[in-house]
């Protein structure tokens, strides 16, 4: 029979897995408390970094319907639960891991799909959602400007053609 404190911990972790857009598992062996604090800051406001017990976290992940992470629950494990933009947090993890080689990204899950450590690093290479949306808006605006120019050019070309015909007729009429 499970102890109440362990059951509560599993329930809390299960809720975190269910309410998160993404979760990234890391090994933090060799990092100091100050470095872990710095890592938590680098993840951004939409992520929570928690040192977890492997057995309880594995049970919680399975209860949340995530079985793809089972192989990663070995050694000292911490989980970054990401509720906002996963790209921002992935960048924070990647950049921190570059400066602190003791942090090892094991793998993760994004919207129910398992991610390898390499895929998380590729995710970190993406631009943020806001940047991508602004680029998309700029592309739409550019296409609209091109369309407006095209629609404006047609009537003005027609007017110039009609004026040229009038001038030619006037010229021919004056020569006769």
- Name 9's Cβ contacts closer than 8 Å, sequence gap at least 6: 53, 56, 60
What is residue 1's predicted lDDT score, i.e. its pLDDT?
42
164 or 148, which is more confident: 164
Whether residue 106 is predicted with pLDDT greater than 80 in this model: the reply is yes
* pLDDT (mean) for 3-23: 87
Q: What are 22's two structure tokens? A: 């993404």
- Measured CA to CA, the distance from residue 110 to residue 120 in angstroms comes to 9
**Cβ of 50: how many Cβ atoms within 10 Å?**
14
- Measured CA to CA, the distance from residue 6 to residue 53 in angstroms comes to 10
Strand, helix or coil for residue 8: helix
- Measured CA to CA, the distance from residue 89 to residue 29 in angstroms comes to 20
- Measured CA to CA, the distance from residue 81 to residue 40 in angstroms comes to 11
Whether residue 176 is predicted with pLDDT greater than 60 in this model: the reply is no
Sheet with 113-116, strands from edge to edge, namely: 47-52, 77-82, 22-27, 104-110, 113-116
Tens digit of each residue's pLDDT (9 = 90 or more) over 50-78? 888 888 888 888 888 888 888 888 888 88
What does DSSP say about strands 22-27 and 77-82: parallel, antiparallel, or unpaired? antiparallel
């Amino acid at each position: 029979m499970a102890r109440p404190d362990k059951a509560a911990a599993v329930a809390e972790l299960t809720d975190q897995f269910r309410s998160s857009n993404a979760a990234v598992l890391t090994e933090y062996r060799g990092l100091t408390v100050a470095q872990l604090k710095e890592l938590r800051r680098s993840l951004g406001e939409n992520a929570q970094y928690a040192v977890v017990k492997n057995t309880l976290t594995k049970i919680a992940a399975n209860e949340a319907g995530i079985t793809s992470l089972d192989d990663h629950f070995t050694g000292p494990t911490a989980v970054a639960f990401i509720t906002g933009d996963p790209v921002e947090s992935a960048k924070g993890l990647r950049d921190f891991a570059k400066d602190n080689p003791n942090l090892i990204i094991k793998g993760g899950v994004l919207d129910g799909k398992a991610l390898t450590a390499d895929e998380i690093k590729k995710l970190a290479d993406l631009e943020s959602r806001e940047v991508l949306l602004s680029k998309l808006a700029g592309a739409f605006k550019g296409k609209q400007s091109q369309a407006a120019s095209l629609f404006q050019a047609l009537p003005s070309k027609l007017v110039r053609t009609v004026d040229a015909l009038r001038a030619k007729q006037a010229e021919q009429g004056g020569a006769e």
